[in-house]
Amino acid sequence: MKHPKHHFFSMTPETLTDWCLERGLPKFRAKQIFEWVYLKGVIDPMEMSNLSNLDRKMLQSDMAFLSGPTVAHQLATDGTQKLLIEWSDGGVDAKEAGVDHESRLPILGQEMPYSDTTRQTECVMIPAVDSDRRTACISSQVGCPVGCTFCATGIGGLDGNLSAGRIVEQVWRLNQLEGVGRISNVVFMGMGEPLANFRPVVEAVKIIAAPWGMGISARKITISTVGMHKAIEKLAEELDLPVTLALSLHAPNDALRRELIPWAEFTSILDLKHACKKWFAKTGREITLEYVLIGGVNDQSEHAIELVHVCKDLRANVNLIRYNEVAGLDFRRPNTEDVHRFQYLLREGGVNCHIRASRGRDIAAACGQLRHEHAGT
């Protein structure tokens, strides 16, 4: 059976040093390779000029840098760019992803043996309008197990988890887009539920934030979750980095939230508030509450007033997101006056909130629109 090459973007200085020593390469080669890839953006070993010819050939033979091709690249009128990446060597079977009803933690799928199965995910580069900020919106899974009723990504369910290396690789690829400048921020808001792929996401965050890796400040990394309260508590204990936690709330009460988010049956808003308070106590970092406003569903005055009560004893700020239409789903974008009234009522209630601008809508790269659709797939 064919075995995959080692994947560079999953490597740490320790594991790459071991890899070099096992093959008779000098120890300092690891540092040189990291500099070529992360500082200079070079992934062709034959271009790494300070490595011996023999070492370059060894690296080319035994190390994989990109795990598959970019099969589509789209550019929106606002400068947002979307990549569709094809992964072709294994993953996690969808039936292995779910929830442990006793612990109320996501069941983390096990890596399947190497195979030739093809899977695809999307990632997005979002440039700021008024600054040099460049945000990478990356995926943690192929598809999504949560099945939010208004979201395109979960329509086909979950096909698999991404490894830490493939998560990091998305940031690197977006960083290489011509003329956009260096990625400054990373948000885990692409395809998938990050905390249902817990270990690879944690490992990826560490590599993205490491000075020898992508070198992006942890304070500029956001992990977005639909909210499994035990998983949030676990993340606070295990990830000793000042990342931002974004909770996809989308409703001010449990009844409506469970209509919109099937996985919400495994938790409650009260449980989530307790977890968020523990997060703040452990990290000192405020929670961001993501709230997608859906016309006629959760955008009325009574919903805003309920949300004020949810937020009143929580160190949090609220991002209001206008719903982005998805073909085939019976939901509509809210009226502008309803959005501004909702924001006004939150602010009158003492809640810090902002309306997020929708970016990349014309290439289906906006919030809730990511879904791997491509001719021939």
As annotated, the active-site residues are 122, 367
Burial of 121 (0-12, 13-18, 19+ CB in 10 A): buried
Report helix angle 164-175 to 198-209, nearest 10. 40
Query: DSSP assignment of 336-364, as one string?
Result: HHHHHHHHHHHHHTT--EEEEPP-SGGGT
In the sheet where 316-322 sits, what is the strand order?
Answer: 70-75, 81-87, 119-127, 134-137, 185-188, 221-225, 244-248, 287-293, 316-322, 353-356
Report helix angle 198-209 to 229-238, nearest 10. 40
Chain centroid to Cα 344, Å, comes to 30
- Given a contact cutoff of 8 angstroms between Cβ atoms, the answer to whether 85 and 72 are in contact is no
CA atoms of 369 and 377, how far apart (whole Å):
18
- Given a contact cutoff of 8 angstroms between Cβ atoms, the answer to whether 273 and 252 are in contact is no
- Residue matched to tokens 């977005």: 224
**HSE toward the beta carbon, residue 29, CA cutoff 13 A:** 24
